[in-house]
A and B are shown apart, each in its own frame.
Chain A
Amino acid sequence: MPDQSHVGRRYSAPGQRIAPESARAVAQAIAGTDPVREADAVPPTFAAVYCLGPTLAQLFSDPEVGIDLAGLIHGEQSFEWPAPVHPGDVVDATAEITSIDTRRGMTFVRLAMEATRPADQAVVCRATSLMIVRAPA
């Protein structure tokens, strides 16, 4: 189980390409049967794919933290987009565990993430996530 000793642990996922076909597929899934509003744009929450996904995958498979995926809940999410990101861009994503608290059998893991585009050093996304890990039943 995650505990205080894991605060400050960092994960790095450089070279995340914003694949146009992937951005389009996410935009279409969000739109459902509605038309996609901006066909050639990267949906804002595509940050889940280029920023959260690759760094959280490392957290979830970190044997020293030992998160049980079966009991995992995405509790809160925040995004800030300081600069626009475009299909085909390549970004470096990082994440850091900023706090871990345990109450009532649940462990609250907070993370801060950032995605930067090396081509112009622009920060394209800052994010925070709250992941809630329920103790095994």
Chain B
Amino acid sequence: MPRNLAHDRAGSGMTAPAASEIAIGDSLAPFSRVVTQEQVNAYADASGDHNPIHVDPEFARSVGLPGTIAHGMLEMGILADAIASWAGGNANLVSLSCRFSKPLLPGDTIICAGTVVSVDDAGVATLEVGASSDRGDRLLTNGRATVRLSR
């Protein structure tokens, strides 16, 4: 069975991948997560963002949505989780940006992806990152992350 490097790294503490091990074109390990309405409700409570488009299906439909939608920040949090697990911990994630292109509908699975596009002399890797849903919607686009590698 192939070894899952991301899990090994995450399990070994806060060790980032070594700059010498990382090459342009390397990808994040596959990372997907079902996002349920319960999870969206939990995020609303935890974050204090109780906008009814996330928690009230009737209200969501009244503003032209097919139903409730997940918080963009919940999706971005999952993307950050995917990158941090590759990067050996939250502390190695230096920056993250993305566009919220299409909303995630509760019940769908978010699938995160990322590819290394450069590594600088200071050992910081830049990745193009994004997320799509299992129904094929592009959720998070134009994403970019920087990760501090170990020497």
Contacts and interface: CB of A to CB of B under 8 A. Distances in A.
A29 B39 contact: yes
Contacts of B100: 73-77
A32 B95 contact: no
Interface string A19-42: 000100110111111100110011
A53 interface: yes
A137 B80 CA distance: 35
Given A43-B81, A77-B73, A32 B34 contact: yes
Contacts of A71: 63
A48 interface: yes
A74 B72 contact: yes
Prevailing SS type, chain A contact patch:
mixed
A33 B39 CA distance: 9
Contact of A77 (B43, B45, B47, B97): B97
A119 interface: no
A81 B94 contact: yes
Interface string B77-97: 110110011000111011111
Interface residues of B, number: 37
Nearest to A57: B48
B33 interface: yes
A12 interface: no
B91 A84 contact: yes
A28 B78 CA distance: 11
B96 A30 contact: no
A49 interface: yes
| Most A CB within 10 A of own CB, among B73, B85, B98 | B73
A76 B63 CA distance: 20
A28 B46 CA distance: 9
A5 B128 CA distance: 36
Given A48-B47, A84-B91, A30 B77 contact: yes
A41 B36 CA distance: 24
A77 B76 contact: yes
8 contacts: A25-B42, A25-B46, A41-B89, A41-B91, A75-B99, A76-B142, A77-B73, A77-B98
Nearest first, the 9 A-B pairs at minimum CB distance are: A78-B97, A25-B46, A29-B43, A30-B77, A29-B42, A45-B77, A80-B95, A48-B73, A26-B46
Interface of A: 22, 25-26, 28-34, 37-38, 41-45, 48-49, 52-53, 69-81, 84, 128
